[in-house]
Amino acid sequence: MAATIKDIAKLAGVSPGTVSRVLANKVGFFSEHTGEKVRAAAAELGYQKNTAAAELVTQQSNVVAAIVNSTKTNFASPIIEGIQAEAHRHDLNVIILYAGDDDSEQQRRALTTVIERPVRSILLLSVDLAAENLTLLQNSRIPFCFLSISFDEIQVPYITSDDWQVGYQATQTLLKLGHQNIGLAGVDSDFHTGRQRVAGYRQAMQEAGITVQPEWIQLGNYSYTAGQAAMRAYGANSGLTAIIGASDMAAVGVLNTARSLGYRVPTDLSILAIDGTEICELVQPALSSISQNFYEMGVAGVQQLCAPGELPQKITPIKLVERDSLQRNG
């Protein structure tokens, strides 16, 4: 049995209340002498506080939970790093839970694990909650915020990039290089994020006076496999001179498949990735990207939940990072 506050009290010859006060360092509430006795006793017993018990009485907690989609893309790490760093500044601890891959049962398990204990707030990293799970979350009355995902139908707090701009700027980048026949590969139009990217793409193309051929937009779930499938659909004689990968992983799928189809990248085909995680620098040629600021999303998420009353929907900046996968057309 681990030592409790009572054991310390007995050993130090004081009351449990006093032990609690010195261990919580309530200055002015105990004498120097008592403080020393208690601390010595605690050390001797190897005392470890039972924080769960303390949280029960104070009705508050300093842990924030991050629920992540065990996604086929890979931007969770920088978001989590941002969360950790900012949480540290606020003296908060963070625990991470996996919610599976759009598996509503796994989502529910992660959610209840977290709701059934005192957590201060919940961050959801690009997890698209099933309706009943969203209800569960909202009923819990625990403050929450979605990260790296956006919504239109439902009114919930989220922080992410401006996905319309992501699509628009990606397309503009390629247009400025003289490309006209531009593909968009692996994007998921079932959700708001993907629809926005497609809309930005279409707008840029329209402004350039280019008619988008239906087959130029290849839907998918942002995965490597989706990128491969898209490129296979485009084929060896696609007529495309540039392709936007809907995510880094999709872009790598496009890259590898394009190669096997005989394309030289970027000589025959330019590829622009969306996300800008480290994977862009691992492949050759290194992929240029419209990079999101994932770290900042994590930071902003924690800040938002620490400063209630802020506006519930926030945009983090994006930027073009040029590497080696783009080339002027003509």
| 46 binding a copy of itself? (CB under 8 A) | yes
| 33 CB burial (10 A radius; 0-12, 13-18, 19+) | exposed
d(C-alpha 90, C-alpha 61), whole Å = 12
Binding span for a copy of itself by CB under 8 A among 92-100, 184-192, 300-308, 313-321 = 92-100
Which of 24, 40, 53, 236 touches a copy of itself by CB under 8 A? 53
Task: Find residue 66's DSSP bridge partners.
Answer: 96, 123
Pick from 60, 131, 141, 211 the residue near a copy of itself by CB under 8 A: 141
Q: How far apart are CA 130 and CA 112, in angstroms?
A: 14
What are the distances in angstroms from CA 11 to CA 15, 41, 45, 90? 10, 6, 9, 35
Residue with smaller CB distance to a copy of itself, 93 or 180: 93
> Which secondary structure element, helix H or strand E, spans residue 95, and what is its range?
strand 93-98
Binding flag, residue 225, a copy of itself (CB under 8 A)? no
Residue 18 contact partner, candidates a copy of itself, DNA, none, CB within 5 to 8 A by sort of partner? DNA
Does 214 contact a copy of itself by CB under 8 A?
Answer: no
Buried b (16+ CB within 10 A) or exposed e, 153-162: eeebbbbbbb
Pick the binder of a copy of itself from 6, 259, 264, 328 (CB under 8 A): 259
Q: Minimal distance in Å, beta carbon 142 to DNA?
A: 14
Residue that is written with structure tokens 């030289």 in the block: 264
Q: Which does 23 bind (CB under 5 to 8 A by kind): DNA, a copy of itself, none?
A: DNA
| Binder among 20, 34, 256, 329 for a copy of itself (CB under 8 A) | 256
Residue 18 CB, shortest distance to DNA, in Å, is: 3
Least separation in angstroms between CB 23 and DNA: 6
Long-range contacts of 261-266 (CB under 8 A, 24+ apart): 261/231, 261/232, 261/235, 261/236, 262/236, 263/236, 265/325, 266/324, 266/325, 266/326, 266/327
Phi, psi at residue 204, to the nearest 5°? Answer: -60, -40
Stretch that binds a copy of itself, among 27-35, 96-104, 156-164, 196-204 (CB under 8 A): 96-104
Segment holding 160, helix H or strand E: strand 158-161
Nearer CB in complex with DNA: 15/213? 15
Calpha distance 136→7 (Å, rounded): 40
Q: How far is the CB of 121 from DNA (least distance, A)?
A: 18
Q: Residues in the site for a copy of itself, rule: CB under 8 A?
A: 2, 46, 48-53, 55-56, 63, 70, 77, 80-81, 84, 88, 93-98, 100, 109, 112-113, 115-118, 139-141, 224, 252, 256, 259, 278-279, 282-284
